[in-house]
Each structure stands twice: as structure tokens, then as C-alpha cells.
Structure 1
């Protein structure tokens, strides 16, 4: 004591006092963690853990958290001693000999860093690694100090075995798997307690780099790391060299990732996010595990078949129409395939829906009486002037036009121009509001953002939203909430006041003869039982969709690429439709669904397929192919049955009317074969008020073709500015252009006018040539 006082008051008192202060401060700092220890219950992994079952009680898996992480918590007694030894040998061989910080390892790390002039090793103990798992931060010096502080608190509150168990249950094991139990069951199909030396050392190798050591994609790299772990175990006398060599050479078999402990991962993560409280427990979902497995297999098979055409992803959703329960939910071909973005959820992803929104446009237009079932729509070349943008010219992928088409054919064949015409009449704001009411909540921009392309898929929606909307269509407009687990609270649905338009759209989507022009009568969309279906293809073949339903089930499918890469000429009927077809067939394998009820309040009645004219009673006509009749004097083109409103029949004029088309059809008519159109002859090219440029340098371009459309039974006379220039029975005549204003007439041989237009020929502006020079090589 006297010696201490001498030092305290002697000539070395200042350095001694500083040293004493530093030591005292260190002791105080090192003691504080014991006042605020982190105990096992503070970091327990049981809070909020959710166990899932399918509708029959079959286990689907357990989620610790509601994000896309998966783990299963076990005690050290339930872990193979081989794994415990391997992870200690690989990560912290003196774990049971030092405190929370290994000062020998720290000294070595500092020396190595000084010699190499860079950080070679981090000297992190298992306790320090656990601290970093609990509070992830960037690796900086201040954060390292914080990591040490947390590790002291962990050591103050828990013994070595408890810290080690918490560490092992949090180890990153690849593909969003955490902990040895989840990894053992996923990769090998057995509990962690049953791991042998070969399996244990492979799993102990994974935490070093879970991505680049993925056993499904980087097996050789993982084996190199396994050799390192085994060598460490031999050096620490945990196993013999012979045992290590035998373990390294052992043939280890990996399970398919779909056979792991987590079935339907996309679905479970989605359900977990929808649960109202964080309480754990067991949730019985609406999923049918056997159907889920079938759908997942079909998703993979369809993607494999289309892989040569640059197709890598697909998704599917199956709904019970009677309850709204989700029976199958596959978000990607392989959730665990990181290289193929397997964790992306194609059911919830936002993509352009192509033509799958068209049924809801036509339903709204029918409901608002913008169109009627017998309305004829013009599928002809059409141009729209968009303010501040290029001219908008909607076309189909076939780049052909059908001319006058009924509403039924326009929808069933997914024609773009008629749909845009209907949207123009309905109004983009009105249709957008209608879609939002149907549950397409992600269509959140202003109407001007989508424009007339809204009905062709200019917005972005999810497969989930489409499935829910088509379920509503299957219920004649009644909103039905989707249910994912039993006990889920859903809002009561209101019964719509008007259902006829919904029923009529359902009937059109189920008419295989109506869609035959684009898809054929025996396409993949056709099933041996009643079903309504619609396909969609986004621009540049980036997404393909097929959504449809029977009386019992609604199935929505998507095929494409998560990164938006275009597929090679894969349309909806080639991509998503085969997947939809397989699932629908499986659902009805043992029981055929009931027929759809006919649209209520409507009457099937003959109309002229080209003009929409309502004709007399069907008994007056001779039956033809499908739902049609043979041509008759009242309609020489085609007569078909259509569901009509009784008041339209009563108010109709069944007298024979001329088969005429308005001028908007002229361009289309000019492209049709001779005598294709059976109406009165008329000039379709040029059109009235057209003008042409005369180019003296291009003699071939100076010829202008006059075209007629209509039924030409007798020779007709062509007159130009009052002078007859030809008499022909053809629908075409070539004329060498001359400058001026011209009046073109077509008359019968008796002088009866048939058609007349005025056009102009102007001189083409001359291109000025600039004087210049050239330099020879």
C-alpha cells in the first residue's frame, strides 16, 4: 500500500495516474455489459414463428419471419456433433477457451494486416459473428467496436452453449435458408441430428459464402471449402485423417429443392404478410398440396419446353369459384433457383396484361349501352392523333384486318382496333375507374398516362388481380374476395344490380366458334367441357397470359421473363394457354363441370353477321355451320344467332336493307380480293379529297390504281372529269397521273351513277442539290 502511495504522490505520479485511470476505465467499461446483458429470451427465435398446413392438414412449412427467410430452431442436443465440431473448427477453433473476443486471433490479424498492408482476416469469434447477425452493419472500425460491445453483452447474459445454439440457428445456408435444421431438411431431407460427417462438413462450409458455395450450382467450390473444414478438424484432432478422407470421398445426394421443408414458398410468404397480427401458431391454408405439386410441375415443364424460345419463367393461380379459396399458387418454376430469379413472385409481379382487360371494357360498354350485342365494329386501319406523341395505329399481331365484325367476334378473336374504338366511345377515365373498382389497384396513374392503349395493356397489373377479376366475371359481376387461409376475415360482397352484361361476356368468351378466326375451332383454348377463356400478349412478346374459368374453377396463368426480356414469337395461345389447358383438364379429370346458364333476359335471334341487321324468326332460315345459317336474300353474306335484348327485336326493321359500309371501310375494302364484298359497287381508292404528288423522275410512281369494291355483275364505265376513259368488269383500273383536280365517276353502261369522288394531283417539290467537292484517296 505504501508503494502504491509513493507512486501516486511521487515524481512519476502523472504517468501512473493516467495508467491507473485507463485501467479503471477499462474495468468499468468491461463491467457495464454485466449490468445490461443480452439473455437468451431477448433473442429467442420463437416469437411470431408460423407453421402452415394445407386444407387437409398436410404440413407445408414453418416461417420464422414474414419476409422471404426460412428457418427451424433446434437445441444443441438436436444437432449432430459432427456439425458442431465442424462449425467450431471452421469459424472459431478456440471457442470454448476464450471469452467473447479472442485476443490471440486479434493480435494475429493485426500482425497479418501490418505485413500485407491490407486486412487478411477479421478475427471474429462465434460470439462476435452472432452479434453481427443480430445487428447487421457495414464492416468499419467503429462498427467493429460496437460488435465487440454486443458480444460482451451476449457473454454476460448467456453461457457458451446457449450462444453457440443461437449462432447455429441463424447461420446463412443459401437460398434464404437459415440454420442447420432448415438446411439439413432442405438439402438432405433429414433432421440436423442425423447428419453424418460428410453432410455435416458440407453444411458447415456454406456460411463462408452462401451464394458462391451454393451446392446446386457451385458444387466444386463447395467441395474445396469442405476439404478446408475437414483439414481443420483433423488438425484439431476432432477426426482422424482417414475419417476425413472417407467423408470427402463419400457420394452425397442432394434433394430437389421442391422436396424441401418449405412447400409453396411464394404462397406462404404472401399469406404471412396478410396475417393481421404477429402472433405465431399454426395456420391452415386453403391450398391443396397435391394440386399445388401438380401445378408446380406443369409450370416447370412448360418453361422447359419453351426455353429454346427464350422463355424462363411462369406462374399460375387456381381459385375455387364457389368459395373464392386459393387452391394453388405457383410464383415461379423454382423458388430456390437464385440464378433464374426464382424468388420473384409471378403471381404478385406487375406486368403489362395485353388483351386480358378487354372483357371488362366490353362489359362496361354493354352495361352503359354504348354498344349492343348486334353492334358491328370496324376492324380496319385506323390512326389516332395523340397530343405530344406519334400517331397511334393499333394493329393485331397478324397485321391483318377483318373489316365489319360483331362484338362477339371482336372480343373472342381479341381484335385490337375494335377494342380501341369502343374505349374511345366509353372514355379512358370511365374505363380506368371501372378497372379500379374491379380491384386493379395498381393502375394508379392518371388516364392520360394510359391513353387508348389501356384496353391493350398499357398499364401494369398482377396475375392475382386478373384472377380475382375473372372470378367476378364467373359470378356474373358479384365481387368475391380471394381467401388464402381458414378464418380469414373478408368483406361481404354486394350483389350487382345488373348482371346481363357480365353473363353475355361470359358467353362470348366461351364460344369456340366465335374465336375460330384467330385461334381455330380446335385450339388449346378448347376443352371437352364448357369454359370461358381469354388470352393476352404484351408488346414485343414480353408477357403472355391466359385467364379463364369453368363453373367450378378459375385459373390464371402467366409465361414470360421476370427481367422483361422479349420471348421469340411466343403469344398467349403458345405460352400461357398450354399451361392453363393442362391445369383445367386436371381440375375436371373426375367430374365434368355444369354448363353455363344462358344470359338472363336475352333471346337468341338471327342477325346479319356483317351489318348487324336483326332479321326475322330463325325458322325462316336454313341451318349452316356452328351457330350460323346459310345466306339468304335478306343477308347474302352470313346469318348467325346472337343473344339480343327483346326490346331491340321489337324495334327492329326486318326488311331487306342494302349491304353498305360507311367510308371508314374504304381503305380496308381496297385491300380485299376482287368481288370479295357483295354490296353496291363504289370507289374505295382514291378516297374523296385525297391528293397525290407527281414525280417526273419516277415514271412507275406516276401510275395510280383506281379501285372498286362491291358486287360487279355487268361492265361499268369509268369517267374522269366528264370524259369516259374505260369500260371494264374489273374492280381495278390504272391511270397515268396528270396535274390537276379530278372528278372520278363510275357508272353503269346505261349511265346510272354508282360512285363519285374528287382528288388532286400536285407536283412533287424538287430536291435541291448542293454544290460540293470530293477528295481522292
Structure 2
């Protein structure tokens, strides 16, 4: 660097002049380099200094008033050798500066290191990055197969994606199917890392040559990524971005999963036509066999389907399907999966495609099971239903269809419960699920309906719990009971309109008499009865006791058939109620939810009544002799083995019920119409009982057929503390020599032993002294001769053992209206049609001949010899008059509201 104070040559010796530049005066042109070089030591003198500036290499800085002493610029922190040049010429004259190439090399190395680190980080992110949430959770993508207790399929419910799919596991992949799939879709599957560049290049070349999309370069891993992403994001867009996303995800899946796991994912999520997803479900749909039983020819067909399921549909395009299968077989042979001989055999195999009908056994039951399944449904639900028994029940209903139609019944519900396990064995909700005209899809087993007399056993059970016995005498006489409404009395009547005076509890329950049941409910209390019914699992009793009143024992409330059957089964278990279940209880068994089954693997249970009460109820309901006076013998209620049975008929004949149980099963049958149309000339005995009889026999054959119980074995064994004692069939007291009819009864061994006080021997013969409540009934019905001592009119007591015969004393009884009672008040039910609300008009049964009836002076009809006539209820106060053919008249006044 040379200071310039005046004119001087433009070029110094050994220096070159920059072309195109002139010589300046009084200034020095400097070029400052961008990099700092090694500084050069210089004496510390006050000199004009050039400090280092971060400017470009070709930038020029002018220094003014620099001294022309020819020496170096003083050193300052920052500038280095080579940073300053005079007019582009080096100042030190020691040759060319070698720092620039070094700088470039350092830059290149740093850039390469940065790019390498970035590439490595990107590769690691691609390979090790996170998977989308829920990507591998395929619980919602599998369909649910509901099977019966023996594994027979009942129904296949579609998955959340609307498909039918059965899962394969990596451990159970059939080798032939795996080989066929890799040969068809990804021949280098076991050698690439998720993306196959060779396959992509080959696909590009083929597509360019054929000028169409003839081949794809996606690997099985990429297809798995696509299938999983499409399941998570159904509206995902296609395009280059989607392909990149699939490739990245394929690399990540390859890092996390084994090849077998990836192949299992593909075989579980690939589409095989229609609603079928997954190779296992496709194998069963097309060939009717599991994938483990596929032949090479069948496996080759399935392996070729996912490429174009609709185009290779064997039912619509058999030629294309066969051509695709042959192509897959050639690839399998080329890959070494098949020997030439095996390939030749596979090509000659004739494929037979199966078109099975979708099963739907016990449809109402299946719908209940699926609705109760908590959270994501499992791929398989093992239920308790017995498909064989279910088919028998359906056949029984169909065989009674003509009789049902004759009675105007369009719907039938039947359920069968195993008493030991509390498992549902059969469940028919309507009689015909597909009958739209009668609402066949409605489940009558869970629809609340009025049960009629079917609730009476629970009133008797409560009475037995409070100390009464089957020998307790109950009044079957005209009675009036108070109601929650002031001034309104409840006057029940029996089904046939007759009163039978004093009845033992055994006869009253077996004969299903209404008046004694209401009298018993009045004694035990409606609140206590409601609590017992609720403890028995009847969930429909949501109102208080005042709402139902005494009529609850006659079925004025509504109950569900399944819950009533479960309640009855408590008696068969000796008094223990167990919540029924529709799922098999055992290792791995799923749990059920609310509705018809238990909510956990352990069944809920509680003591409902004592074993003594359960025995009494079972013994009474299975006593054919005790109910003979009402139901006769040899009908649908008798069996070659012990069966406790109870019928029920609701108001206005809307519902028929028959509920009963043996040692092994409890069966319930309901007959009616979902639109509440009344039945015609049908009761529980004529409508539901024949079906009940056939179903009970079928259920016993399947459940109790292998049991060694003798036919006369009781349903419940007599518990300790009871003994068989001989009692009077009329008074229920200890029988004596005067009692004309007797029977054996199970009574507490420590109970009172009062001798019969109703029967006495006198000079006039056998006398019967009725207690005061029955004196009026005895006189009005002509059973005895009026007087201080009444002679017994021989009363037949079915089931009782005759001890002696007594002369019958006839008498002319007073003519009286026995129904309605004088002063009674009746309420019209707003829920029932008016034409089905009628009042039965009856007179004493001893009245001879026809009876003329008038209401408010207007003739309403003539009754036959039994004096029975039905009069449609009408609001207001009414005076009812009856007149027999001898001219005797009787009157009664009533109020109808």
C-alpha cells in the first residue's frame, strides 16, 4: 500500500494496473475481504487504521489523508492479511493469498454436514415418527358374530364401517393364502422396507408404454397404510400428497411391525366385494370354509380379488375372475410357492362358490343382545340361546297358528329359562319377526302387558311368609273392600261369576279364584306386596300402592314376560331370585347390559322367599287335583312330570298368559295383539296353555332329558320342619271322625293342632256349623237348611280324600241378587274400550229357570238357568231388578262413575 500525495506513476514496479482505471491523487483504494485472516504484527504507532468491515470481496473503501510513508498500516483488532487490497493489487508483495480456497472448502464441508444431519433427521423422523392415534385399533372395523350356546351362528352384525369382517391374527395366517397374496400384490414384500423403488420404476415404464394406468407400484405396506388412513379419514383426498403420506406411514409401519403382522393387517382390511372385508370373511362367504382350509386354487382366487372386487365378481364376471385366478397361480409358480405339478392341479380344480343365506336366528333376542353390548362390540358374542330349542318353539307356534287366528290373536311371545344357570334358552318375541301386518318386529317378551291372575302366587307367597299356610281358609263370598277414593268400594268377582264360600288357600290359588286373592292382598297389605314384586325383578311397578290398589293381585298393572318368568323361577330354586343372563358365563365370556340379562360376569342373586314358601307355592301350582274343580283334568296344564303352572287373562280379554316351571326350566307364553285388539272366546287356558304345554315338553327333552329324576319327583323338596298331616278339606283344621272329606297337607311340625270345629255328629246326622262370615252365603246358595244348626250339604272338595258319606239336605233358598252387591260403586276404566266393560248380573245359584233383568225399569235381557247376564256399564245411579219364573223379585242399587 502506497500513500499518494501528488502525481506519480500509476503503477509501481512489480504491480499491475487494473484495466480501465486511472491513477488517482491523494487517496488509496482498498478492497476489504469478507473473512478475517491471520493478523500481522505491526509497531504500535499512531497511523491511519482500517478496521475490518463485513462487506463483500469486491467492495472498495477509500482512506483519506493517509501518510505517504510507505509503511504498513498499523494493526487493529479485526483486519487480517489479505483483507485490504490497493486497487485490486496485493499490498505486501509476497505472492497470491491462498486463504480463499480454504474458505470455500470449509463452507462446502459445513454445508455437507448440515445437509447430512438434516437428511438423517428427516430419515429418522420418517422411520421413527409417531403413528396417528387409533391407527391400529381395529375393534370398530370388525363385524360382530352372535352365536348360540353351541357356537352356531345366529346373526352377523355389521361393523361401524358397515362391513362384514372376521379377523385373522399373525399367528394364524394360512401359508397358502399368504403366498398367494404376496405373489399377486407384492413379490418383493419380504425384501423391501415399505417402499419398493424397483416396483415404482417398473410401474412407470409399463404405464408409459401402455398409455394407461395398467400397474401400480404400491407395496403391501403402502396399501396397508392407505387402508388404515382411509378408515380413520373416510373423506381423505387423493393425489401426490396422499401418496407421500402413505409412503411415510408404510416406512413407519415396517419399523414397528413384523412382516407377518403387516400381511395380517392387509388380509384383514382388504375389500373382497360387496360388504365383505378381510380374507377370513371372504373365505366363508365364497367357499363356506375358514381360511385355514383353503386350497391353492381358492387362495389364488381370493388373492386376486382386492385388485378389482367388482370386476372379478365370480357371480357377474366368471370369465374375468377365472383369468385373474390363473394369473395369480402363474405368479405363485414363478415365485416357487407351488411346484409345477401343484400349479397344474390347482388350475384344473373347479371352483364351487357358495351363496349362503345370512342367518338371523332368534331375531328379537339378538337385537336385545346387541343393544346391551357395552362399548365397542367384540368380534364374537357367545349367547345362552339354544338354536335347536328356538327352532322347535318357532315350529310349535306355527302349528298353532290356525287356532290363534280363530281366537283373533296375531302375536305370541315365548321365553324359556334354565332354572339352574338362569340362562335364556329360547326367546320368541312375536311369533313372526317378518310379519309387518301384526308388528312382528316388536318384542312382546319385553313389552309390558296386563298379566291377569299370573301375579296371584306372589300374594299367596307373601301371606305364607307372614304365617299363613295352604290350610288357611279364605272367603270366596261377595265382598267389598275400601279403596283410596273415599266412598268407593272395590267388589271383585270370580272369572265365572260364582262364589264358592270358604276355600282353603290351596284350592283358592290352584283354582285361581279372584275374591280370595283380593281378600288375602287386603290382609297382607298392598305396599308389602309391591315391595315383594319389585324384589322379584319386576321393574314396571313404578307407582305407589294407592295407585294400584288391591287390584294389583289380579293384574291391573303391566309386567314384562321375561321379568315375570324370572320371578317364577325363584320358586323353582327354593326361593332365590337370580338375575337372568343371555351371555355364557365363563372364561372370556362377555358381559351383558341392562334389559334381559345380567350386567356382569357374576349373576346378581337375592333371597326372595323362604324355602318353605317356595315349596308350598310349587306344590300348590303343580296340584292337578286341587285345580280340577275349575280346570278339569287331562288338559294342557297336566304333564307326565311335576310342573307348577299358572294362567292369566287380562281385562277385556286383551292378553292370555301361561307361566310355569319344572325342576329344570321355566316357560312363559303370552298371546295377544300388539294393537290391544281383544281376543275372541279365549283365555289363558285356551289361548296360551296349548303352546305352553308343547314348549315345556320340548324344553324338558333338551334340558332335563338326561336327568335321573323320577316323573313323580317334586319340583322343590319339602324343607325341614314340615310334615304331612291329615286335615279337614273344608275347615283346614285337624281332621276328626266327623269330617266327611279330608286331605293330606304339608304343615309346620310345631304348628297348632286344632281339631275341626265345623263338623259335628248329632241325632239328626252330620251337622256343619259355618262361621258367621259364611252363613249368608250358605243360605243363599242352598247348601244348608236355615236354622241354628245347619246340616251339611255335601260339598265336593277335589283333591280331598272322602272319609264318609253324609245325607244331602235340600232346602228352598232365598232369591237374591248376588252380583252386583247392593250399594256397590263401579269405576269405568278410561284405558279400556267401553264396549268391553260390562257388569255381570247373577242371582243365587239355587234359583230355578230363567231370570228376567231390568235396569232402571227397562228390560235388558233374560238369563238362562244359571242366572248370568252381562250388562254394559253406564255412568249414573242405577236400580237393578231380577225376577224369576215363580214371580220372586230381588233388587240392588249401584253407582257407576
TM-score by length of 1: 0.56
**2:721 is the alignment partner of 1:601:** yes
| Matched residue, 1:413 | 511
Tell me if structure 1 keeps the 8 A contact 2:474–2:508. Answer: yes
| Separation of aligned partners in 1, 2:676 and 2:771 | 41
1:272 is displaced (CA, Å) by 2.2
Structure 2 CA distance for partners of 1:325 and 1:194, relative to 1, 3 Å: farther
1:378 to 475, 480, 485: 475
Tell me if structure 2 keeps the 8 A contact 1:524–1:573. Answer: yes
Tell me if structure 1 keeps the 8 A contact 2:413–2:669. Answer: yes
| Separation of aligned partners in 2, 1:635 and 1:551 | 35
Tell me if structure 2 keeps the 8 A contact 1:503–1:600. Answer: no
Q: How does 1:91-106 map to 2 (within 5 A)?
A: none
| Separation of aligned partners in 2, 1:691 and 1:548 | 39
| Separation of aligned partners in 1, 2:815 and 2:135 | 85
1:334 is displaced (CA, Å) by 1.6
1:678 to 791, 797, 800: 791
**2:610 is the alignment partner of 1:498:** yes
| Separation of aligned partners in 2, 1:395 and 1:48 | 59
1:372 is displaced (CA, Å) by 2.5
Tell me if structure 1 keeps the 8 A contact 2:143–2:163. Answer: no
2:532 to 434, 438, 458: 434
1:564 to 656, 662, 676: 676
1:56 to 136, 143, 150: 150
Q: Secondary structure at the match of 1:586?
A: helix
2:408 to 307, 310, 313: 310
Structure 2 CA distance for partners of 1:643 and 1:654, relative to 1, 3 Å: farther
| Matched residue, 2:465 | 367
| Separation of aligned partners in 2, 1:70 and 1:522 | 54
| Separation of aligned partners in 2, 1:356 and 1:535 | 6
**2:580 is the alignment partner of 1:482:** yes
1:553 is displaced (CA, Å) by 1.3
| Separation of aligned partners in 2, 1:286 and 1:294 | 16
1:505 is displaced (CA, Å) by 0.8
Root mean square deviation, CA, Å: 4.7
Tell me if structure 1 keeps the 8 A contact 2:723–2:748. Answer: yes
1:659 to 768, 784, 788: 768
Corresponding residue pairs, total: 500
| Matched residue, 1:740 | none
| Separation of aligned partners in 2, 1:300 and 1:70 | 34
1:300 is displaced (CA, Å) by 2.9
Tell me if structure 2 keeps the 8 A contact 1:354–1:457. Answer: yes
Structure 2 CA distance for partners of 1:643 and 1:446, relative to 1, 3 Å: same
| Separation of aligned partners in 2, 1:684 and 1:608 | 29
Tell me if structure 1 keeps the 8 A contact 2:384–2:424. Answer: yes
Tell me if structure 1 keeps the 8 A contact 2:445–2:562. Answer: yes
1:581 is displaced (CA, Å) by 0.5
| Matched residue, 1:295 | 393
1:280 to 363, 374, 378: 378
More relative contact order, 1 or 2 (CA 8 Å, 6+ apart): 1
Output one character per residue of 1:627-681: Cα deviation in whole Å (capped at 9) or x when no partner: xxxxxxx124x22222222233445567955623344435533542465883499
Q: Secondary structure at the match of 1:429?
A: helix
Output one character per residue of 1:304-345: Cα deviation in whole Å (capped at 9) or x when no partner: 421122101111111122211211111121212223211111
| Separation of aligned partners in 1, 2:159 and 2:483 | 49
1:513 is displaced (CA, Å) by 0.3
Q: How does 1:93-492 map to 2 (within 5 A)?
A: 169=275, 260-369=358-467, 371-388=468-485, 391-484=489-582, 485-487=584-586, 488=591, 489-491=601-603
Tell me if structure 2 keeps the 8 A contact 1:471–1:554. Answer: yes
Q: Secondary structure at the match of 1:527?
A: coil
Gaps of 5+ in 1: 1-37, 76-133, 135-149, 171-180, 186-190, 199-253, 621-633, 693-705, 710-760, 765-777
Structure 2 CA distance for partners of 1:316 and 1:682, relative to 1, 3 Å: same
| Matched residue, 2:695 | 583
| Separation of aligned partners in 2, 1:707 and 1:312 | 39
| Separation of aligned partners in 1, 2:369 and 2:573 | 24
Structure 2 CA distance for partners of 1:643 and 1:168, relative to 1, 3 Å: same
TM-score by length of 2: 0.49
**2:623 is the alignment partner of 1:511:** yes
Tell me if structure 2 keeps the 8 A contact 1:670–1:707. Answer: no
1:530 to 633, 639, 642: 642
1:432 is displaced (CA, Å) by 0.2
| Separation of aligned partners in 2, 1:670 and 1:497 | 40
| Matched residue, 1:639 | 742
Structure 2 CA distance for partners of 1:607 and 1:195, relative to 1, 3 Å: farther
Tell me if structure 1 keeps the 8 A contact 2:781–2:813. Answer: no
| Separation of aligned partners in 1, 2:155 and 2:555 | 37
Structure 2 CA distance for partners of 1:387 and 1:400, relative to 1, 3 Å: same
| Separation of aligned partners in 2, 1:541 and 1:655 | 39
Tell me if structure 2 keeps the 8 A contact 1:504–1:599. Answer: no
Tell me if structure 1 keeps the 8 A contact 2:535–2:608. Answer: no
Q: Secondary structure at the match of 1:343?
A: coil
Structure 2 CA distance for partners of 1:41 and 1:168, relative to 1, 3 Å: farther
| Separation of aligned partners in 2, 1:428 and 1:505 | 19
| Matched residue, 1:611 | 731
Structure 2 CA distance for partners of 1:708 and 1:54, relative to 1, 3 Å: closer
Output one character per residue of 1:424-464: Cα deviation in whole Å (capped at 9) or x when no partner: 00111010011101111111111111111101111111111
1:605 is displaced (CA, Å) by 1.6
1:41 is displaced (CA, Å) by 8.2
| Separation of aligned partners in 1, 2:691 and 2:367 | 24
Output one character per residue of 1:513-546: Cα deviation in whole Å (capped at 9) or x when no partner: 0011111121210001111111111111111111
Q: Secondary structure at the match of 2:151?
A: coil
1:546 to 658, 672, 690: 658
1:421 is displaced (CA, Å) by 0.2
1:44 is displaced (CA, Å) by 9.0
Structure 2 CA distance for partners of 1:47 and 1:445, relative to 1, 3 Å: farther
1:565 is displaced (CA, Å) by 1.2
Structure 2 CA distance for partners of 1:522 and 1:708, relative to 1, 3 Å: closer
Tell me if structure 2 keeps the 8 A contact 1:317–1:557. Answer: yes
Gaps of 5+ in 2: 1-131, 168-230, 244-269, 277-283, 289-301, 303-309, 318-354, 592-600, 761-766, 794-810, 824-842, 847-889
| Separation of aligned partners in 2, 1:660 and 1:441 | 46
